[in-house]
């Protein structure tokens, strides 16, 4: 199975975080076996932090991972999970989901990323 392909957009609606984590184990191993010893992941669901932790603990093979966890953006920005989706299905995302519209929202979001174990912060337009 490929990480990116014709069905990758559909997967965000049909896969849960456990499915994503399970698939990520194979992707991490193949990334390492293809010669990549260090990678950056600048936007994900939080599974990226768990995969990094499992690699660091020696539980699964994979490259060194520097991750931001979920990236940040304003409402309608690149990291807004409601983009292209019905707001009825998604709701009204805030700092925890990566949507920040004020200095206070940004502070909350950055602190949450730090608490979750992010190595860096990714801010998108």
pLDDT by position in tens, the chain (length 125)? 556 677 766 766 677 888 888 889 999 999 999 999 999 999 887 889 999 999 999 999 999 999 998 899 998 888 887 776 666 656 778 888 888 999 999 999 999 999 999 999 999 98
Q: Where in the chain is the domain with CATH 3.30.110.90?
A: 1-67
d(CA 100, CA 36): 33
- At the top level of CATH, the class of 1-67 is alpha beta
Report helix, strand or coil for 49.
helix
**Number of CB atoms found within 10 A of residue 88's CB:** 7
Q: Say which residues have a Cβ less than 8 Å from residue 5's Cβ, sequence separation at least 6.
A: none
């Amino acid at each position: 199975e490929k990480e990116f392909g014709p069905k990758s957009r559909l997967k965000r609606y049909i896969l849960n975080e456990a499915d994503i984590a399970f698939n990520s184990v194979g992707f991490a191993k193949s990334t390492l076996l293809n010669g990549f010893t260090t990678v950056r992941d600048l936007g994900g669901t939080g599974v990226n932090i768990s995969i990094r932790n499992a690699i660091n603990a020696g539980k699964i093979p994979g490259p060194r991972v520097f991750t931001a966890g979920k990236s940040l953006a304003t409402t309608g920005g690149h990291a807004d999970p409601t983009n292209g989706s019905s707001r009825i299905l998604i709701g009204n995302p805030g700092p925890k989901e990566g949507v920040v519209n004020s200095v206070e929202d940004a502070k909350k979001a950055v602190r949450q990323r730090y608490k979750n174990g992010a190595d860096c912060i990714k801010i998108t337009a």
